[in-house]
Amino acid sequence: MAPADFFDLFLQNLLQTTLLEIIAVIFGLLSVWYSMKVNILVYPTGIVSVIIYVYICFFAGLYADMGINFVYFIMSVYGWYNWTRPQTDKPRLPVTFSSKQDQIIAISGTIVSFVIIREVLIEYTDSTVPNIDAFTTSVFIVGMWLMAVKKVENWIYWIIGDIVSVPLYFYKGLVFTSFQYLVFLILAILGYIAWRKEAQRA
Q: What is the pLDDT of residues 64-106, one digit of tens each?
A: 888 878 877 887 888 788 777 755 555 577 899 999 999 999 9
Tell me if 137 sits within 8 A of 66, measured CB to CB.
no
Identify the residue with better confidence: 127 or 10.
Answer: 127
Q: What is the pTM of this model?
A: 0.76
Using DSSP's 3-state secondary structure scheme, residue 37 falls into coil
Work out the widest C-alpha separation in the chain, in whole angstroms.
62
Task: Of 106, 94, 88, 99, give the one whose Cα is nearest residue 156.
Answer: 106
- CA distances to 19, 117, 198 from 102, in Å: 39, 22, 19
CB 36 within 8 A of CB 20: no
HSE, side-chain direction, 13 A CA sphere, residue 74: 7
User: Model confidence over 107-148: pLDDT tens digits?
Assistant: 999 999 999 999 999 999 988 899 999 999 999 989 988 988
Residue ranges of the domains in the chain?
Answer: 17-90+148-202
Q: What integer pLDDT is reported at residue 15 of this predicted model?
A: 44
Q: Comparing C-alpha atoms, which of 52, 48, 76, 82 is closest to residue 65?
A: 52
